[in-house]
Chain A
Amino acid sequence: MSTADITAEHHDDHHDHGPAKGLSRWFFTTNHKDIGSMYLWFSLAMFLVGGSMALVIRAELFQPGLQLVEPGFFNQMTTMHGLIMVFGAVMPAFVGLANWMVPMMIGAPDMALPRMNNWSFWILPFAFGMLLLTLFMDGGAPNFGWTFYAPLSTTYAPDSVTFFIFAVHMMGVSSIMGAINIVATILNMRAPGMTLMKMPLFVWTWLITAYLLIAVMPVLAGVVTMMLMDIHFGTSFFDAAGGGDPVLFQHVFWFFGHPEVYIMILPAFGIVSAIIPTFARKQLFGYASMVYATASIAFLSFIVWAHHMFTVGMPLAGELFFMFATMLIAVPTGVKVFNWIATMWRGSMTFETPMLFALAFVILFTIGGLSGLMLAIAPADFQYHDTYFVVAHFHYVLVPGAIFSIMAAVYYWLPKWTGHQLNEGAGKFHFWMSFIGVNITFFPMHFIGLAGMPRRIPDYALQFADFNAIASVGAFIFGLSQLIFVWNVIQNIRSGKKAEAKCWEGAEGLEWSVPSPAPYHTFTTPPQIEGAK
């Protein structure tokens, strides 16, 4: 491309032109809003696919005995459900929200690296397309759990494991590029006067999340590469017969896996910290301590990985260290919850759909956090480990935690994206169905876990039957109520009352200073920042 062309193109940019026409808009776009939308649609599609798999699981578990699927396929469902929800639904949704909102929140015209942004997204459909196609391979899709412990995932894995490894590599490349882009944007593209400690908390939590991603996605890439070597190149990283160690796999995996847990929750903290002050019409309590608490959680996430492995036979000293370190995480997490409640205290609250989801987040995430505290007690963890108690715990932090925060965010910013006010009736209907469904699904799992039902089994002893039936009913209520969400979002795009620039009375922040819907290009000249955030 000649200098003249660049000049010409640059000249064109000065006109506030709209998007390109047709499909090429989506293939070649470098616009953060377009890419954000694609991430969010992709995530929604994966959420529905992964959710359907969860419904297959719950349908089989409705009654004891095998009715619908064989154990081999059941294992493929649990594995694919986990992988798709973690890597395909939750993570891309947060990246999509970051794409849409971070530039608008810091007064930047776009992401720092727009072409890489396009590539980060477009890798994902191929990675997940490949992963999903393994369902049709001889031997079936990966069946070793989303944690893919060796040697079940190496020596004893179906042939599709190689495609799984390649798909994980692609997801990792996408995540790392996305994270670099977010860091570069936040550090370099803030409007003048937007100091770090004036940034909205969503920006802060994403900055820290992005660093976590950059630190641990290469570790995941490393561990799957070691698997690839074991499977195809005769090494024995995880095979004791060749001098390796299956437990090494778990250490490396969880060194990635535990920070990954926080990758899926820190942006949620940011979202809730934006929504609660808006609907309490009161400034966020303890902004600085929120930032420090987020950073502390991120730091601690690197030194607690082996609490996922209390039963592997670690030495006593290791066991004690990981128990104490894990218990410590309760402190900064507690600070966050207390701050949200202090924000609500003596506010002037209203309960629109985003606020309902945010409040449900605070309550149900806290329940998940408290069961996490129980799991931290190593001697008791021997009884909880790999039972439905753990399933209940992590679904409480991921479904009414991460997923509810994403829904809260979508409802909160949807008027900004589409220019139409929310249909509060449909939103509240969706909320209450989800809230009821999620609790009917996951609360009984605490009981069946304590009573002794292991996770990842297709069939169970008779004493677990009633709670499993209840959980299955709840799962279908929750799953089907997501169709209300899909309908509501599509309706909102197509029609609705015109939304104002600042459509929520108590909202603060730069994103509310631009019109609704946000123009294709925002902040082409940096805004003026006044006062403290």
Chain B
Amino acid sequence: METRKNILRGSLFGALTMPSAAFAEWGLNMPVGVTEISRSVFSLHMTIFWVCVAIAVVVFGVMFYSMFHHRKSRGAKSAHFHENTTVEVIWTIIPVAILVAMAVPSAATLIEMYDPSDAEIDVQITGYQWKWKYDYLDEEVSFFSNLSTSRDAIYNAEQKGENYLLEVDKHLVLPVDTKIRFLLTANDVIHSWWVPDLAVKKDAIPGFINESWTIIEKPGIYRGQCTELCGKDHGYMPVVVEAVSKEDYAAWVATIKAEAAAKADLAGKTWTLDELMTEGEQVYLKACAACHMPNGEGLPGAFPALKNSPIAVGDVAAHIDIVVNGKPGTAMQAYKDQLSAVEMAAVITYERNAWGNNTGEAVTPNQIADMSWDMDRLMTVGEEVYGKACAACHQPNGQGIPGAFPGLVGTDIVMGDIGAHIDIVVNGKAGSAMQAFKDQLSPEEIAAVVTYERNAWGNNVGDSVKPSTVASWNGGEK
């Protein structure tokens, strides 16, 4: 358990009621925080607080004195004055002076907070209903951060842990002593990203990008929450920042990149229905149950049921489509940015077989991967790949160079059996200039370029190749 020492977080009567583990967290006041800005903010807060206390003591002091001494029961006779210009001018000028004195340091701090220049690391923060996505723009690292508190803890079926509701599956890991710029936006409704110890709170607004920054001075774990009402589970999207040394940060980046690569490999594995169901249930609880409910019955009028729904027991392609691409204009998000192909395949399989849906259908990660490769995309990417990898020999217009490189317009390879076409691109043709592209291009690129060749320059065969077909292509069989 991490401990956070905070001299100004006092305790009033916490000792009477709280176990000692939670004692340090029993806050009465704003945290001082771990950045220069957070300390300035704290000092502004304490200054204005004491100014208010002083005003209150004077004003209420006079009032209570009067209430005690100028009462009829003590024989007070009322005076007759009802105005006094001098006094009224004085009690107008004094507050103005106090306010000016407060305005100066406040403006100074504000100006400082508004200077995100010279940031060393840019992190894009995107609010989703109800989770955060973090993109490290310089590292090509990107992940979602979900609440990790269990449903049972929320519904009082199990003991609540120390960080109840303030814990997530993946921390936002940041190096200390480094100027970090946050770029905030949202995918659906307005959220607000807040970490009290950093004194950073900024709204994440769909369609717009807000800026903020921080330099964390002390390693540690700093917790916050979404602070803009964003729908049903607004209370369940915490922020956890883990500040580490620069070396540890570099190591973490390497690890998370390796993990991402390993995860990508999983897509090639053969998944059984049982494996998909097990994985699917986990994903469902994390990503879907908030709206569609753990029992798949949804919330009538707000979130549709999946149990026996036309989507979950009907056409599998439509089911995959709505999960991958979402449903614009509704709360149904496009999960292609949030879940891996394996996770989407698992959760779709789960939805099609849980709660008595029992379609018996298993959806493979490949089907998901293929979903996003429609004809238009294959052709667009295919043209690009062709220009890069093929046009040097076969020429941009597919005519080839007679006698040296064969043309592709109307020839047997491109107009005939699609298997032969894929094979020659994947494995090349021994004894000719035709290389094996499996080592140079990804399965997606190969699928795209084959599709392009079969449909460009008036070939118009009309068929297409899915990346999964290429990925599992085995030169020995067709």
Interface string of A13-30 (1 = CB under 8 A from B): 000000000000000000
Contacting residues of chain A (135-175) with chain B, CB-CB under 8 angstroms: 137-140, 143-145, 149, 151-152, 155-156, 158-159
Give the complex CA separation of A80 and B24 in angstroms.
Answer: 36
B41 within 8 A of A: yes
| Distance from B369 Cβ to chain A, minimum over Cβ atoms (Å) | 27
Interface string of A445-472 (1 = CB under 8 A from B): 0010011101111111111001000000
B334 within 8 A of A: no
| Distance from A231 Cβ to chain B, minimum over Cβ atoms (Å) | 10
| Distance from B313 Cβ to chain A, minimum over Cβ atoms (Å) | 22
Q: Which of B18, B79, B111, B203 has the most CB of A within 10 A?
A: B203
Contacting residues of chain B (106-146) with chain A, CB-CB under 8 angstroms: 106-107, 109-111, 113-114, 129
* B201 interface neighbour in A284, A323, A383, Cβ under 8 Å: A383
Q: Which residues of A contact B160 (CB under 8 A)?
A: 64-65, 462
Of B86-94, B387-395, B409-417, B444-452, the one contacting chain A is B86-94
Q: Which residues of B contact A362 (CB under 8 A)?
A: 63
* B189 interface neighbour in A156, A159, A289, A319, Cβ under 8 Å: A156
Asked whether A72 lies within 8 Å of B163 as measured between CB atoms, the reply is no
Q: Which residues of A contact B302 (CB under 8 A)?
A: 72, 139-140, 158
Of B47-55, B280-288, B398-406, the one contacting chain A is B47-55
Asked whether B52 lies within 8 Å of A371 as measured between CB atoms, the reply is yes
Asked whether B301 lies within 8 Å of A138 as measured between CB atoms, the reply is yes
| Distance from B6 Cβ to chain A, minimum over Cβ atoms (Å) | 11
B77 within 8 A of A: yes
A67-B156, A367-B56 as given contacts; A379 in contact with B110, CB under 8 Å: yes
Asked whether B165 lies within 8 Å of A323 as measured between CB atoms, the reply is no
Give the complex CA separation of A520 and B381 in angstroms.
Answer: 84
| Distance from A221 Cβ to chain B, minimum over Cβ atoms (Å) | 23
| Distance from A352 Cβ to chain B, minimum over Cβ atoms (Å) | 11
Number of interface residues of B (CB under 8 A): 107
* B103 interface neighbour in A324, A346, A367, Cβ under 8 Å: A324
B234 within 8 A of A: yes
B299 within 8 A of A: yes
Asked whether B102 lies within 8 Å of A348 as measured between CB atoms, the reply is no
| Distance from A62 Cβ to chain B, minimum over Cβ atoms (Å) | 12
A189 within 8 A of B: no
Asked whether A363 lies within 8 Å of B63 as measured between CB atoms, the reply is yes
Q: Which residues of B contact A140 (CB under 8 A)?
A: 301-302
Q: Do most interface residues of chain B lie in helix, strand or loop, or is the interface mixed?
A: mixed
| Distance from A31 Cβ to chain B, minimum over Cβ atoms (Å) | 35
B475 within 8 A of A: no
Asked whether B226 lies within 8 Å of A319 as measured between CB atoms, the reply is no
Of A113-121, A309-317, A479-487, A491-499, the one contacting chain B is A309-317
Asked whether A363 lies within 8 Å of B67 as measured between CB atoms, the reply is no
A288 within 8 A of B: yes
Give the complex CA separation of A337 and B14 in angstroms.
Answer: 36
B250 within 8 A of A: no
Of A191-199, A326-334, A427-435, the one contacting chain B is A326-334
A500 within 8 A of B: no
Asked whether A348 lies within 8 Å of B301 as measured between CB atoms, the reply is no
Q: Which residues of A contact B224 (CB under 8 A)?
A: 452
Give the complex CA separation of A137 and B106 in angstroms.
Answer: 48
Of B27-35, B351-359, B426-434, the one contacting chain A is B27-35
B60 within 8 A of A: yes
A65-B154, A344-B70 as given contacts; A382 in contact with B27, CB under 8 Å: no
Q: Which residues of B contact A331 (CB under 8 A)?
A: 92, 95-96, 99
A346-B78, A452-B224, A462-B160 as given contacts; A247 in contact with B205, CB under 8 Å: yes
Asked whether A241 lies within 8 Å of B70 as measured between CB atoms, the reply is no
A151-B206, A246-B190 as given contacts; A156 in contact with B25, CB under 8 Å: no
Asked whether A350 lies within 8 Å of B80 as measured between CB atoms, the reply is no
Asked whether B22 lies within 8 Å of A366 as measured between CB atoms, the reply is no
* B78 interface neighbour in A311, A347, A367, A462, Cβ under 8 Å: A347
| Distance from A386 Cβ to chain B, minimum over Cβ atoms (Å) | 4
B229 within 8 A of A: yes
Of B172-180, B192-200, B268-276, B454-462, the one contacting chain A is B192-200
Contacting residues of chain B (33-89) with chain A, CB-CB under 8 angstroms: 37, 40-41, 44-45, 48-49, 51-52, 55-56, 59-60, 62-63, 66-67, 70-73, 76-84, 87-88
Asked whether B199 lies within 8 Å of A313 as measured between CB atoms, the reply is no
Give the complex CA separation of A228 and B24 in angstroms.
Answer: 49
Give the complex CA separation of A156 and B232 in angstroms.
Answer: 11
Q: Which residues of B contact A462 (CB under 8 A)?
A: 22, 25, 160, 162, 164
A370 within 8 A of B: yes
Asked whether B230 lies within 8 Å of A461 as measured between CB atoms, the reply is no
Asked whether A282 lies within 8 Å of B79 as measured between CB atoms, the reply is yes
B233 within 8 A of A: yes
Asked whether B27 lies within 8 Å of A311 as measured between CB atoms, the reply is no
Asked whether B30 lies within 8 Å of A450 as measured between CB atoms, the reply is yes
Query: Which of chain B's residues has its CB closest to A375's CB?
Result: B48
Asked whether B67 lies within 8 Å of A359 as measured between CB atoms, the reply is yes
* B227 interface neighbour in A312, A345, A366, A454, Cβ under 8 Å: A454
Asked whether B95 lies within 8 Å of A334 as measured between CB atoms, the reply is yes
A515 within 8 A of B: no
Asked whether A451 lies within 8 Å of B27 as measured between CB atoms, the reply is yes
| Distance from A364 Cβ to chain B, minimum over Cβ atoms (Å) | 11
Of B207-215, B316-324, B340-348, the one contacting chain A is B207-215
Asked whether B82 lies within 8 Å of A350 as measured between CB atoms, the reply is no
* A348 interface neighbour in B9, B40, B71, Cβ under 8 Å: B71
Q: Which residues of A contact B329 (CB under 8 A)?
A: 155
Asked whether B70 lies within 8 Å of A348 as measured between CB atoms, the reply is yes
Q: Which residues of B contact A133 (CB under 8 A)?
A: none
B220 within 8 A of A: no
B383 within 8 A of A: no
Q: List 21 A-B contacts (CB under 8 A).
A: A139-B302, A149-B228, A241-B207, A245-B208, A285-B83, A311-B203, A313-B211, A334-B92, A335-B92, A348-B76, A350-B73, A366-B59, A373-B52, A374-B49, A379-B199, A382-B113, A385-B227, A455-B227, A459-B236, A462-B22, A463-B27
Chain A contact residues, CB within 8 Å of chain B:
64-67, 71-72, 75, 137-140, 143-145, 149, 151-152, 155-156, 158-159, 239-241, 245-247, 280-289, 311-313, 316, 319-320, 323-324, 327-328, 330-331, 334-335, 337-338, 341-351, 359, 362-363, 366-367, 370-371, 373-374, 377-380, 382-383, 385-387, 447, 450-452, 454-463, 466
**Given contact pairs A152-B229, A349-B67, A383-B41, a sample of 7 additional A-B residue pairs in the complex whose CB atoms are under 8 Å apart:** A143-B232, A149-B189, A331-B96, A380-B41, A387-B227, A450-B28, A454-B234
